[in-house]
C-alpha cells in the first residue's frame, strides 16, 4: 500500500479548482489538503504542513516564476505543477527551467493531470523509501444467493472507507453482479476490460479505470456482457488483486457460486474469507458442506470466518446451535433489519450514509473494527520480529 500524496491547489478560478479536485478524487492516494484562490492563503497552508504537490496557477509569467521559485526555495521537498492559459514555448520552457515539475495548460485535461500525478507519486514512494506493505484482501462468500453476501461486502467496504481506510471493492459475481446497483453506479470500465490487459496493467492503469464512489470506496464492477465473464482467467484475477493490494489498504471481493476457477484463485490470494450464512436449516446444511470442502482445499478456520446474517436471537435455531453444527464460532453476527437493508439497496446508498443508526450499520462497524484490529496485531508482530 502506498503512502498518500497530499495536494494544495492555488487557483483564482473556483471552477478550475473544483475541476482539479474532481480529477484528484479519482486518484486513490490523493488527499487535497487545501484549495484556495490566493497565493498568500496557499502559503499559509503550506507553512502549516507542506504537501507533496502544490498546483499553482500562473497568470503572469514573471510573477508566476517568482512564486514558483519562492515555493521551491522555502520548501525544497515539494513538487510544483504550474497551470496557465498560455500555451507558448517561452512560458513552458521558463517555468520548467525555474523548477516546475509539470506545466499544465488550462482548461486542465484530466489525463494530463493524472499522468503528472502518477509520475510524482512514483518519485514520492521512492523518496519515502516505501517498502510496499500489501493491503488486506477479504473475500465475502456464500455459494448460494440470498444470504446477504453482497449487502455485507458493500457495507463492510463503505464502513472501512468511513473509518479512513483506502478501500477497493470488486464484484466477482461474474454472471449476475449487483454491486453497481447497490451503489447506484454505472461504471465505464469493468473487470473484463481490466483482465483483458493483464501483463500490461500497473497501479496507474487500475487507478484510472476503477470507479470512485462518494462513500470513498473504489469499485471494480463485474463484466457487463455475459460473454466476457467466461474469458476472465483465474491467474488474471490474481494479478489484478495483487496490484490493487499495492494501492488499497483493503480490497473487498464480493463472491458467490462454486468452489473452482476464479473463486478458488481469489480465495488463494485472500487474507480472510468471510463465509456468510443465515440461521435456517438449508443454509446451515450447505454451510457445513462448503466449510468442510473449503477446509479440504486448504482454506481452514484461520482464514475462513463465519458471519451470521439476519440474526434474530429469538429464532428457532439459536446461534449456539449453529456454532455447534458448524463447529465454528461466529466471527460476527449481523441483525435482521430488512427495511433498512432493502431501502439502502433501492436508494443505491450504503447503510452507513442512509441509516447510520441501523443495527446492521453497527454490526458492520464491529466487523470493520475486528478486521482492522487484526491488521494492527499483525503489523506489531512483524515489527517485533524486525527488532
Ligand X SMILES: Nc1ncnc2c1ncn2[C@@H]1O[C@H](COP(=O)(O)OP(=O)(O)OP(=O)(O)O)[C@@H](O)[C@H]1O
The site for ligand X (CB under 6 A) is made up of: 142, 145-151, 173, 178, 256, 309-310, 334, 336-338, 341-342, 345, 360
Smallest gap from Cβ 150 to ligand X, in A, equals 3
Half-sphere exposure for 179 (CA within 13 Å, toward CB):
37
The entry of ligand X, Mg ion, none that residue 42 binds, CB within 5 to 8 Å by partner kind: none
The entry of Mg ion, ligand X, none that residue 31 binds, CB within 5 to 8 Å by partner kind: none
Cell 485472500, residue? 270
Residue 155 makes contact with Mg ion by CB under 5 A: no
Nearer to ligand X, 181 or 264 (CB): 181
The closest alpha carbon to 249, from 178, 163, 191, belongs to 163
370's enclosing H/E stretch is helix 359-386
The entry of Mg ion, ligand X, none that residue 337 binds, CB within 5 to 8 Å by partner kind: ligand X
Q: Which range, of 76-84, 86-94, 176-184, 191-199, touches Mg ion by CB under 5 A? A: 176-184
Nearer to Mg ion, 144 or 193 (CB): 144
Residue 150 makes contact with Mg ion by CB under 5 A: yes
> Is there a contact between 205 and 26 (Cβ–Cβ < 8 Å)?
no
The entry of ligand X, Mg ion, none that residue 309 binds, CB within 5 to 8 Å by partner kind: ligand X
Strands 211-212 and 217-220: antiparallel
Smallest gap from Cβ 352 to Mg ion, in A, equals 19
The entry of Mg ion, ligand X, none that residue 85 binds, CB within 5 to 8 Å by partner kind: none
CA-based Rg of the chain, rounded to a whole angstrom? Answer: 24
d(CA 100, CA 95): 6
Nearer to Mg ion, 101 or 143 (CB): 143
Smallest gap from Cβ 289 to ligand X, in A, equals 17
Nearer to Mg ion, 67 or 178 (CB): 178
Q: Which range, of 178-186, 213-221, 222-230, 346-354, touches Mg ion by CB under 5 A? A: 178-186
| Grid coordinates given for 203 | 497501479
| Grid coordinates given for 84 | 496557465
Nearer to ligand X, 207 or 310 (CB): 310
Q: What residues numbered 230-259 form the site for Mg ion, per CB under 5 A?
A: none
Nearer to Mg ion, 149 or 190 (CB): 149
Cell 518519485, residue? 123
The entry of Mg ion, ligand X, none that residue 338 binds, CB within 5 to 8 Å by partner kind: ligand X
Smallest gap from Cβ 169 to Mg ion, in A, equals 12
> Is there a contact between 273 and 267 (Cβ–Cβ < 8 Å)?
yes
d(CA 244, CA 157): 14
Nearer to ligand X, 28 or 279 (CB): 279
**Cα separations (Å) of 199 from 139, 220, 329?**
24, 18, 41
Number of residues that bind Mg ion (CB under 5 A): 3
Nearer to ligand X, 56 or 306 (CB): 306
The entry of Mg ion, ligand X, none that residue 251 binds, CB within 5 to 8 Å by partner kind: none
Question: Torsion over CA of 137, 53, 74 and 96, rounded to 10 degrees?
Answer: 140
What's the longest Cα–Cα distance across the chain?
Answer: 79
State the residue number with the nearest CB to Mg ion: 150
Q: Please state the φ and ψ torsions of residue 167, each to the nearest 5 degrees.
A: -130, 135
Annotate 111-165 with DSSP letters as a single string: HHHHHHHHHHHHHHHHHTT---PPPEEEEEEESSSSSSHHHHHHHHHHHHHHTT-
Q: Which range, of 172-180, 218-226, 290-298, 308-316, touches Mg ion by CB under 5 A? A: 172-180
State the residue number with the nearest CB to ligand X: 145
Nearer to ligand X, 139 or 309 (CB): 309
Q: Which range, of 6-14, 76-84, 144-152, 282-290, touches Mg ion by CB under 5 A? A: 144-152
Residues 197-210: b if buried by 16+ CB within 10 A, e if exposed: ebeebebbebbebb
Contact residues for Mg ion, defined by CB under 5 A: 149-150, 178
Amino acid at each position: 500500500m502506498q503512502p498518500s500524496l497530499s495536494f494544495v491547489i492555488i487557483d483564482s478560478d473556483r471552477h478550475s479548482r473544483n475541476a482539479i479536485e474532481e480529477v484528484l478524487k479519482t486518484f486513490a492516494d490523493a488527499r487535497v489538503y487545501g484549495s484556495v484562490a490566493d497565493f498568500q492563503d496557499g502559503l499559509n497552508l503550506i507553512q502549516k504542513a507542506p504537501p507533496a504537490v502544490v498546483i499553482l496557477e500562473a497568470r503572469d509569467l514573471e510573477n508566476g516564476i517568482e512564486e514558483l521559485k519562492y515555493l521551491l526555495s522555502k520548501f525544497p521537498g515539494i513538487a510544483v505543477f504550474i497551470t496557465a492559459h498560455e500555451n507558448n514555448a517561452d512560458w513552458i520552457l521558463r517555468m520548467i527551467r525555474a523548477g516546475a515539475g509539470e506545466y499544465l495548460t488550462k482548461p486542465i485535461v484530466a489525463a494530463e493531470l493524472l499522468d503528472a500525478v502518477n509520475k510524482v507519486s512514483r518519485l514520492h514512494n521512492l523518496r519515502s523509501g516505501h517498502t510496499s506493505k500489501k493491503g488486506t484482501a477479504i473475500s465475502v462468500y456464500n455459494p448460494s444467493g440470498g444470504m446477504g453476501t453482497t449487502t455485507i461486502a458493500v457495507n463492510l467496504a463503505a464502513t472501512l472507507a468511513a473509518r479512513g481506510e483506502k478501500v477497493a471493492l470488486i464484484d466477482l459475481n461474474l454472471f449476475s453482479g449487483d454491486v453497481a446497483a447497490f451503489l447506484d453506479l454505472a461504471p465505464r470500465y469493468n473487470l473484463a476490460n481490466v483482465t483483458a490487459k493483464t501483463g500490461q496493467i500497473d497501479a496507474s492503469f487500475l487507478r484510472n479505470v476503477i470507479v470512485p464512489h462518494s462513500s470513498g470506496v473504489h469499485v471494480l464492477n463485474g463484466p457487463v456482457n455475459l460473454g466476457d465473464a467466461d474469458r476472465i482467467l483465474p491467474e488474471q484475477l490474481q494479478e489484478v488483486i495483487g496490484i490493487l493490494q499495492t494501492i488499497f489498504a483493503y480490497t473487498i471481493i464480493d463472491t458467490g457460486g462454486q468452489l473452482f476457477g476464479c473463486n478458488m484463485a481469489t480465495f488463494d490470494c485472500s487474507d480472510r474469507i468471510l463465509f456468510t450464512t443465515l440461521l435456517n436449516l438449508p443454509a446451515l446444511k450447505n454451510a457445513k458442506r462448503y466449510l468442510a470442502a473449503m477446509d479440504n482445499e486448504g482454506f481452514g478456520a484461520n482464514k475462513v470466518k463465519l458471519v451470521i446474517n439476519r440474526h434474530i436471537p429469538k429464532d428457532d435455531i439459536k446461534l449456539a446451535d449453529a456454532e455447534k453444527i458448524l463447529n465454528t464460532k461466529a466471527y460476527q453476527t449481523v441483525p435482521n433489519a430488512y427495511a433498512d437493508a432493502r431501502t439502502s439497496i433501492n436508494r443505491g446508498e450504503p447503510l452507513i450514509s442512509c441509516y447510520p443508526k441501523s443495527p446492521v450499520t453497527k454490526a458492520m462497524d464491529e466487523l470493520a473494527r475486528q478486521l482492522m484490529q487484526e491488521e494492527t496485531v499483525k503489523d506489531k508482530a512483524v515489527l517485533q520480529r524486525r527488532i
